[in-house]
Amino acid sequence: MQRAGAKRGALPARFFRAAAPVLAADKESLLQLRRRTGLPILQCRDALQRCGGDLTQAEAWLLEQARRQGWSSAPVARERPAREGLVGLLREGPAAVMVELSCETDFVARTTEFQRVVAQAALGAMELCRRAPPAARACSQHFLQPEELAELQTGPGGGPLSEELALAQGRLGEAVSLRRAAWLRVRPGAGFVSGYAHGGPAADPGSGPVALGTLGALVACGARGVARGGARVAALEALGRQVAQHVVGFAPRRVGRARERRRGGEEEEEALLAQEFLHAPGRRVGRVLRAPTPPPPPVSAGVTRGR
């Protein structure tokens, strides 16, 4: 375009030069604004566009909108400790995942909004587990690293989980974060994975197949040569669930052996197989699992706590 009265042959004047940095939003400013406010990327981009790319003005504008519309208390929430929350368990074939989301109050943990995000995190972790290369061992476990947690999606074909966390934090007015996630899987035909979630809320259709609770455990059991779908498999999986309940109740630190050496005159109680079984008082877990009907001892066990 040319300004009125401009000489012929002169370079055209650009009326929107100041807007160029906004339209090509500075990625670093965008990420920094999101970290400061905890708000979704789209809202942060809109704020930068409205404020000509000025980070300080954009943050002030977002905070003012938050106060007016009541859609976020994120900057304040980030300062407070998040000691409540839920775990989510999802089983699929020979694998299972467990995630832990934290919030500040038990009241928020009981909301359908928070539970929905827990379910989305579990679905995202399972999708990552599906894409992971098969392990050489019969049983493998993996705790997601910070960069993997940051890249989780909400499930197959879904968007970034980080966006859902930011939205939930804005709607709920509390700090909401994904603390940790892990999966446990066995080689097909080598066994199965059982799980147990304790103290969960009433079943919510939004969580789908994801089991919710304040405490949870996954246990992998070896059961070779047993056809799936039979009564024996059902009995073995029921026993695996009982072992997972035991893990939640007694919190063993390792699988161990059925008989542990005494230390300081007291029997070691940190090993799963050496503990008295929750469902069979007087009998150790290892002895129960060596019986003819149950499967061989678990090849791995994991536990995480929501509080």
Question: What is the structure's pLDDT at 14?
Answer: 35
Read off φ and ψ for residue 136, nearest 5 degrees: -75, -30
Give the pairing of strands 84-92 and 211-213: antiparallel
- State mean pLDDT over 257-265: 54
Please say whether the beta carbons of 298 and 255 come within 8 A: yes
pTM above 0.85, yes or no: no
Can you give the pLDDT at residue 295?
46
Give the pLDDT confidence of 180-189 residue by residue, as tens digits.
Answer: 999 999 888 7
Q: What is the pLDDT of residues 71-95, one digit of tens each?
A: 544 444 555 566 789 999 999 988 9
Rounded CA gap, 110 and 105, in Å?
Answer: 9
Residue for token pair 């929750």: 278
User: What integer pLDDT is reported at residue 299 of this predicted model?
Assistant: 46
Question: Which domains are delineated in the chain?
Answer: 17-72 (1.10.8.10), 84-261+268-305 (3.30.479.20)
pLDDT of 270 reads 81
Percent of the chain residues topping a pLDDT of 90: 24
- Give the chain's end-to-end CA distance (angstroms, integer): 63
Which of 65-74, 89-98, 148-157, 190-199: highest mean pLDDT? 89-98
Give the mean pLDDT of the chain: 76
Strands lying side by side in the sheet with 177-186: 139-143, 177-186, 95-103, 84-92, 211-213
- How are the residues of the chain apportioned to helix, strand and coil, as percentages rounded to the nearest 5? 40, 25, 40
233 near 239, Cβ under 8 Å? no
